[in-house]
């Protein structure tokens, strides 16, 4: 490491002295404030007489700031750049596992606010109680949060006795009686208010606070986790579901599409937004800063949905690859070593060539807030982004996704377990013989044990003979999984259901499209193109939602028909399941070649 020159050290000395002075002042302030609640926090209130069973925890640094040493500075312009791992961006801390002792304080603050609901109390006082409750809640442990949510769901539920009394007081409906009609309307208004649970008012009051909407989104995340843990308790599940329904409906109103803003993310975007984009990427994790710069650079687009109440929190993140064809592999998109040299040469330009771009590939869409689960946002973002891209590239004609199949291997393991028990046949005789030779096993039943172990690793993709032997059956079974397997009449696969509801066509199934560890573990590397024909999206969506009919291309229909004739379930009629008539806007797309392996 090179030391600074004398002149440089002398110039930096005042800066170092200023930093050391600030560090000493920070330590003194920390020691002085350890015995009191910090002013300006949601829990601080001058003159407050609420009793707290234990002191409010305060987050403080564990060690003192170490003074800077001028000898630690080094300057070198010739040092090679090496991509550093992507640092984790700051996020809201999870609920502590140990109890905080503040559960009663949170309940008291909540009930203090509710008691002032119908009184002539200033809203400022109610907001102050709500701030206290929010502050206490954020410091509760996991079990304490569940207890608090259960308390809110029961203590602030609808008063059924009041509702019953109002029903008994219903005025009679008379003909041509204006006074009676007005009395009936007033009664209906009172009944409507009595049916609305008090926690609806609590949520509305919290949303008025600064940061209140984000607090409610995080609270619903805790509520969904509590619902999962209380699933075996019917009574608790009912009241918690009522609480969740009220909160979800309010969030749906607050996060309506008209209140959301589409933002394009570039390398010049704020650093904290770029960090969150990297942290929230759930489909194809960002490896380092260089990888992130590539994903928001040339021939790429990244868009987010943001809300005015959460301006620094991307709600939905959509990554797009701009090219001249519908991609069948992630290698080119992520610029890995598996991409061909020709493809890399096309992407090395220092500017985009609009003549080269006529296709947009949606290769990753992520909903970042678990508390917004069940609120449709991603489909609206895709529609808004399509208009943005059409305005930027008038010649763009093709829109498609390159989507993962996250539940395929799990379903496949279940099918292989049934095949071992003789309940289903998934491989043809010739395929079984070839697999027995590749896997070096002696019985067909042993094939399934070996495959289950192999699918937990990624080494099997390096064995060419095994990969070729598995291609036909796994592609066939994948088509069966996407089209035939249903949940409540709709596609079992969540990603497929999302795109089909948006009006996309199940266009193409791609072999060895994602050879990352995650892609192999989830779907044996298989990915799907869901293609969007803008003129037909609305009719396709209506067809799927109303009649559960999946629109297929000819290539996918061929795979499904093959699967229906090969997959035989004993005691079932699976092979005779009628396949919906495909609507392929163009002739068959796929030509099977040794290179494409599709």
Give the 3-state secondary structure percentages of the chain, helix then strand then coil, rounded to 5. 50, 10, 40
Residues 449, 567, single domain; the answer is: yes
Q: Which residues are catalytic?
A: 403, 499
Residues 285, 203, single domain; the answer is: no
Widest distance between CA atoms in the chain: 100
Spatial contact of 263 and 304, defined as CB atoms under 8 Å apart: yes
Q: At what angle do helices 234-254 and 212-229 cross, to 10 degrees?
A: 150
Residue-level pLDDT, tens digit, the chain, 598 residues = 445 555 555 556 666 666 766 666 666 655 554 444 443 444 444 444 444 433 333 333 333 333 333 333 333 333 333 343 444 333 455 666 667 788 999 999 999 999 988 878 888 899 999 999 999 999 999 899 999 999 999 998 888 888 888 888 888 776 556 667 788 888 888 888 888 899 999 999 999 999 999 999 999 999 999 999 988 888 889 999 999 999 999 999 999 888 889 999 999 999 999 999 999 888 888 888 888 999 999 999 999 999 988 888 899 999 999 999 999 999 888 874 344 444 555 555 678 888 899 999 999 998 899 999 988 888 888 989 999 999 999 999 999 999 999 999 999 999 999 999 988 889 999 999 999 999 998 888 899 999 999 999 888 999 999 999 999 999 999 999 999 999 999 999 999 999 999 999 999 999 999 999 999 999 999 999 999 999 999 999 999 999 999 999 999 999 999 998 877 665 544 444 444 444 433 333 332 222 323 2
Q: Which two tokens stand for residue 576?
A: 């005779």
DSSP characters over 97-147: SS--S-HHHHHHHHHHHHHTTTSS--HHHHHHHHHHHHHHHHT--HHHHHH
Q: Is 58 helix (H, G, I), strand (E, B) or coil?
A: coil
- 590 located within any domain: no
The residues, ordered by sequence, that sit 6+ positions from 555 with a Cβ below 8 Å of its Cβ are 508, 509, 588, 589, 590, 598
**HSE-up of residue 542 (Cα within 13 Å, Cβ side):** 3
- What burial letters (b/e) apply to 178-215, b meaning 16+ CB within 10 Å? eeeeebbeeeeeebeebeebbbbbbbebbbebeebbbb
Q: Which of 215, 262, 245, 254 is nearest to 106 (CA)?
A: 215
Domain range enclosing 467: 408-576
The residues, ordered by sequence, that sit 6+ positions from 41 with a Cβ below 8 Å of its Cβ are 135
Q: Is 80 helix (H, G, I), strand (E, B) or coil?
A: coil
Residues 264, 253, single domain; the answer is: no
Asked which of 401, 418, 441 is the last residue of a domain, the reply is: 401
Residues 148, 278, single domain; the answer is: no
Residues 249, 312, single domain; the answer is: no
Q: Which of 218, 326, 279 is nearest to 590 (CA)?
A: 326
Spatial contact of 365 and 378, defined as CB atoms under 8 Å apart: yes
Q: Which of 57, 238, 210 is nearest to 141 (CA)?
A: 57
Q: Which of 342, 341, 301 is nearest to 318 (CA)?
A: 301
Residues 371, 225, single domain; the answer is: no
If one counts the domains in the chain, the total is: 4
Spatial contact of 330 and 529, defined as CB atoms under 8 Å apart: no
The rounded distance, in Å, linking the Cα atoms of 128 and 138 is 16
Give the pLDDT confidence score for residue 67 in this predicted structure.
37
Residues 418, 357, single domain; the answer is: no
Within a 10 A sphere around the Cβ of 378, how many other Cβ atoms?
Answer: 20
The rounded distance, in Å, linking the Cα atoms of 218 and 223 is 9
Residues 274, 302, single domain; the answer is: yes
The rounded distance, in Å, linking the Cα atoms of 220 and 13 is 51
Spatial contact of 514 and 363, defined as CB atoms under 8 Å apart: no
Residues 30, 112, single domain; the answer is: no
Give the pLDDT confidence score for residue 397 in this predicted structure.
94
Q: Which two tokens stand for residue 177?
A: 């009686």
Asked which of 257, 273, 294 is the last residue of a domain, the reply is: 257
What is the value of pTM for the model shown?
A: 0.74
The rounded distance, in Å, linking the Cα atoms of 470 and 198 is 58
Asked which of 401, 421, 448 is the last residue of a domain, the reply is: 401
Residues 433, 529, single domain; the answer is: yes
Spatial contact of 157 and 199, defined as CB atoms under 8 Å apart: yes
- 389 located within any domain: yes
Residues 395, 416, single domain; the answer is: no
């Amino acid at each position: 490491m090179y030391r600074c020159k004398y002149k440089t050290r002398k110039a930096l000395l005042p800066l170092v002295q200023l930093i050391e002075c600030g560090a000493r002042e920070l330590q003194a302030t920390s020691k002085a404030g350890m015995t009191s609640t910090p002013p300006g926090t949601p829990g601080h209130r001058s003159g407050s007489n609420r009793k707290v069973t234990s002191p409010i925890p305060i987050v403080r640094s564990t060690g003192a700031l170490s003074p800077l040493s001028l000898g630690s500075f080094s300057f070198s312009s010739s040092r090679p750049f090496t991509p550093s791992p992507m640092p984790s961006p700051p996020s809201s801390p999870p609920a502590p596992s140990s109890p905080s002792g503040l559960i009663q304080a949170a309940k008291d603050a909540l009930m203090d606010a509710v008691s002032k609901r119908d009184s002539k109390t200033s809203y400022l006082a109610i907001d102050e109680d709500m701030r206290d409750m929010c502050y206490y809640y954020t410091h509760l442990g996991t079990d304490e949060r569940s207890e608090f949510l259960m308390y809110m769901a029961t203590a602030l539920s609808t008063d059924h006795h009041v509702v019953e009394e109002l029903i008994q007081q219903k005025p009679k409906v008379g003909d041509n009686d204006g006074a009676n009609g007005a009395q009936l309307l007033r009664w209906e208004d009172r009944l409507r208010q009595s049916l609305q649970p008090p926690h609806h008012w609590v949520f509305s009051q919290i949303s008025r606070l600064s940061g209140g909407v984000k607090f409610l989104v995080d609270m619903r995340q805790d509520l969904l986790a509590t619902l999962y843990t209380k699933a075996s308790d019917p009574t608790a599940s009912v009241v918690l579901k009522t609480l969740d329904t009220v909160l979800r409906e309010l969030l749906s109103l607050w996060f309506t599409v008209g209140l959301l803003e589409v933002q394009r993310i570039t390398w010049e975007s704020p650093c904290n937004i770029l960090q969150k984009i990297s942290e929230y990427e759930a489909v194809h994790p960002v490896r380092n800063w260089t990888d992130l710069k590539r994903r928001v650079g040339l021939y790429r687009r990244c868009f987010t949905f943001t809300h005015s109440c959460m301006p620094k929190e991307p709600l939905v993140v959509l990554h797009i690859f701009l090219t001249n064809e519908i991609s069948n592999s992630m290698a080119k998109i992520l610029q890995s070593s598996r991409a061909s040299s020709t493809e890399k040469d096309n992407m090395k330009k220092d500017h985009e060539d609009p003549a080269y771009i006529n296709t947009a590939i949606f290769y990753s869409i992520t909903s970042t807030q678990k508390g917004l689960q069940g609120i449709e946002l991603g489909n609206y973002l895709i529609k808004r982004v399509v208009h943005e891209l059409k305005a930027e590239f008038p010649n763009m004609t093709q829109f498609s996704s390159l989507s993962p199949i996250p539940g395929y291997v799990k379903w496949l393991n279940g099918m292989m377990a049934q095949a071992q028990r003789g309940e289903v046949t998934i491989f043809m005789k010739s395929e079984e013989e070839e697999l027995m030779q590749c896997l070096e096993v002696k019985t067909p039943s042993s094939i399934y044990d070996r495959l289950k172990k192999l699918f937990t690793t990624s080494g099997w993709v390096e064995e060419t003979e095994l990969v070729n032997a598995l291609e036909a059956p796994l592609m066939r079974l994948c088509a069966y999984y996407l089209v035939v397997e249903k949940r409540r009449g709709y596609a079992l696969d969540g990603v497929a259901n999302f795109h089909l509801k948006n009006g996309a066509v199940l266009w193409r199934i791609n072999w060895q499209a994602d050879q990352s560890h995650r892609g192999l573990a989830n779907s044996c590397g298989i990915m799907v193109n869901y293609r969007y024909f803008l003129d037909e999206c609305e009719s396709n969506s209506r067809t799927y939602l109303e009649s559960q009919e999946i629109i297929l291309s000819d290539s996918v229909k061929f795979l499904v028909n093959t699967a229906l004739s090969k997959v035989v379930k004993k005691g079932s009629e699976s092979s005779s399941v009628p396949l919906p008539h495909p609507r392929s806007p163009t002739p068959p797309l796929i030509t099977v070649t040794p290179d494409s392996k599709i």
